[in-house]
Each structure stands twice: as structure tokens, then as C-alpha cells.
Amino acid sequence: MTIKPFKLERYYSQYEFTAKYSLCNSDCEAMSIGDLLAMEEGATEKFHQHWLGYTETKGHPELRRDIAATYTNILPEDLLVFTGAQEPIFLFSQAILKAGDEVIIQFPCYQSVQSIPESLGCKVLNWTVRYDNNVPTFDIADLEKLITNKTKVLYLNTPHNPSGFHFSRAEQLAIIEIARKHNIIIFSDEVYRELEHQPQYTIPGFGDLYENGISLGVMSKAYGLPGLRIGWLATKNKAILEQVAILKEYTTICNSAPSEFLAGVGLRNRDKLLARNLQIIDSNLPLYDRFFEKYAHLFSWYRPNAGPIAFVKMNFEMDDMVFADKVLKEKSVLLLPGGIYDYPGYFRIGFARNGIPKALEVFEDYVESTMIPNLKS
């Protein structure tokens, strides 16, 4: 199998731990094991006694019960637990697709849904974001035009990385109707679900609503626990789950037992985790509002109604990769340039980390000291 390098992950492995400030992370602020365990009475004691044997391939039954509680129709037996969200994207695609199949992806995208099907010999068709007055949308009429009798899977991602777009309930139902009519599997990457900025923007998981829908979830983003490396697939389609389970026995076999325990604590306390993380988002968004209002001649942003990230348009002539590189070299502030997504002229920002106010201050210093004088000269 030949597969393209994952540009975003390569970029992060190069700079994430060396840049002093980051303005672009997509995960919420993490916490220590001690702080997580303190959320539940008796959890510290139980964690120390937790058994370090192999666990069930499907995921610990108690953990699957806790994950099922985050859906409406999904039951513990409709779940398969994995190492993060990346493993199930990889294994689902390997299990379900064959050369010649067509898949549709939202573009730009988190690269795995593009590169893995391509590596399998599939034709990948882009359902490309449209910007209307700087507001991103995915037009359902555009989607319908991409469907043929070879379309096997529609990969969705909502809230969307990188645009921040989030489907409404009406759009969700319309997409399911189309998929049902053409017998298309929906693989819905919902790693940012439950980070809707207001309750009215919440939509159910696709796995809850559609018999051939699969919801991808993870502890990494909304719950801010990426170090656990616990993710899952949720679907009523038993045949798909079984095909993927067979492949998982060739990769990780089962999950890390301590991580499964800790993920359970996180999920049982998810209301507290989400309230904390939404509060961080709520406090950072006004800082960006002020920044983008002040520098409207340089940048335009769409303020999302869900999720921890947004895509910022550059209103000046410079390659986005060059721009990000300059900001990094001069101020040690990490931005995620659109070139990483093959979508130039933009960069991604994040707003669910405690370090954002300081990182934005240093970025503003770059704008004032370097960009503004250059524009004037």
C-alpha cells in the first residue's frame, strides 16, 4: 500500500512541542490524571486496583455503557472502542472499501478520509466548502451532483475541521434521506460533537439516526483527554462493525486498560468536562472577535457556532505557508496554514486552550511590529 504522508500530522510532529505558543490546536485543554480521578469519589482507589490484563476487543463493557449514554439509540453492543479516532478511520476504510469504489468527502478535510481511500484505489470526490460572505456552507445540491451508482461512502465531519461549519438538524435529515435513497454508508466524524456553543446547535449522531450511519467519537477533543487515545465507532449496522472488528485484531487487538478506566471516569463526568471546556471557548472567542475587528483589513474570520476551531482568510498577498513560517520563526507562535489542507489563503486557529490569550497577544505583537509597518512602506 502506498499512502501520502499526512501533512497535518507531519506539521504537528515537527512544531507542536517546540513552538512556545500555539494558536491552532483542535483539542480542548487537557488535565492531569489526578485531576480527572478527583472528579469521582473513590476513583483514585479503584484506578490503583485496576487490572492490567488484556481487555475485550470491543472495549470494556462498562466503558461501552458509558459511551452509549452519550447517544439516544446506540446501545453498548453497537459500539467498538479503538485507539483514538485515527485508528477507526483507517480500519473502517480498509474494511469497507475496495478499488474502484467512489467516496465523497467534505473538502478541505482531515486528510485521512482522503488519503486512505485513495491508497486503496478508490475515486475520491470533493464536496467542497462554499464561502458566502465569508460564511462556510456545504450545499446539498452540490452533494447530489457527486453521487453515482458507484458511491459507497459519504465521509462527513461535523463540526467541521477546518472551517468550523456545523450541519443543522434539517441538513442532517436531508443528507440521510439522500444517502438512504442511494444506499450510501455515512461515516460521520463527530470528534467535536458536544462542543456546540449554544444548546440549539446540537444535533444527534448520524449513527443514532441512520441504519447505515456510523458515528466516530473520541475522548481527545470535546473532553480534552487526547492522551488517553480512546475513540469509538457507533452504528446499528452490525455487519460493518464486525468487518472492522476483524481488522482491529490485526492492529491493536484491544485498548489500554488504564485508558479505558480513565475514559469511563471522563464520560461519567462529561457534563463537568464540557462545562469547563465550553467556558474556556466562551472566554477566548471575544478575544478573537476584538482581534479580527481591529485587523479586518488583514484577516476575515467566520465565528463558528460549534467546535474548537475556525478558518481565517488572509486578506493580503502572501503564501499562507510562508506567513505561518514567518510568525513561527519570529515569535514562536504556531498557526496551521491552509496549504496543509491544500486550501491556500487561510490558516486555522483554535480557541479551547488556556494559553490562547497569551498566544494571541504575541501574535498581535507580530502584526503590529512586522505586518503593519510593512504594509505602510
Ligand X SMILES: Cc1ncc(COP(=O)(O)O)c(C=O)c1O
Q: Please report, as ranges, the residues that interact with ligand X according to CB under 6 A.
A: 26, 84-86, 110, 157, 161, 189, 191, 218, 220, 226, 231
370 grid coordinates: 512586522
Residue (9 or 62) nearer to ligand X, CB: 9
Residue (84 or 339) nearer to ligand X, CB: 84
Residue (55 or 161) nearer to ligand X, CB: 161
CB of 348 to ligand X, least distance (A): 10
Residue (247 or 367) nearer to ligand X, CB: 247
Alpha helices, DSSP H, located in 188-235: 206-209
Task: Quote the CA–CA distance of 210 and 282 in Å, as a whole number.
Answer: 32
CB 26 within 8 A of CB 161: yes
CB of 372 to ligand X, least distance (A): 33
* Torsion (CA) 279, 281, 285, 288 in degrees, nearest 10: 130
Residue (164 or 331) nearer to ligand X, CB: 164
Measuring CA to CA, how many Å separate 315 from each of 110, 162, 167? 24, 18, 27
The backbone torsions φ and ψ at residue 320, rounded to the nearest 5 degrees and listed phi first, read -65, -30
- Give me the count of residues in the chain: 377
* Close Cβ partners of 369 (under 8 Å, ≥ 6 residues apart): none
CB of 133 to ligand X, least distance (A): 25
Residue (58 or 229) nearer to ligand X, CB: 229
Task: Quote the CA–CA distance of 8 and 296 in Å, as a whole number.
Answer: 27
Q: Containing H/E element for 239? A: helix 238-248
Residue (291 or 336) nearer to ligand X, CB: 336
Residue (205 or 291) nearer to ligand X, CB: 205
Task: Quote the CA–CA distance of 152 and 185 in Å, as a whole number.
Answer: 6
148 grid coordinates: 453515482
CB of 110 to ligand X, least distance (A): 4
CB of 292 to ligand X, least distance (A): 22
Measuring CA to CA, how many Å separate 23 from each of 226, 309, 320? 18, 10, 15
Strand partners, 151: 102
CB of 4 to ligand X, least distance (A): 17
CB of 271 to ligand X, least distance (A): 21
Measuring CA to CA, how many Å separate 124 from each of 64, 103, 312? 32, 5, 26
Residue (94 or 291) nearer to ligand X, CB: 94
Task: Quote the CA–CA distance of 201 and 209 in Å, as a whole number.
Answer: 17
CB of 12 to ligand X, least distance (A): 9
CB of 303 to ligand X, least distance (A): 19
Which residue number is nearest to ligand X in terms of Cβ? Answer: 84
CB of 218 to ligand X, least distance (A): 4
Task: Quote the CA–CA distance of 210 and 177 in Å, as a whole number.
Answer: 9
Structure letter (DSSP) for residue 180: H
The backbone torsions φ and ψ at residue 375, rounded to the nearest 5 degrees and listed phi first, read -65, -35
Residue (111 or 212) nearer to ligand X, CB: 111
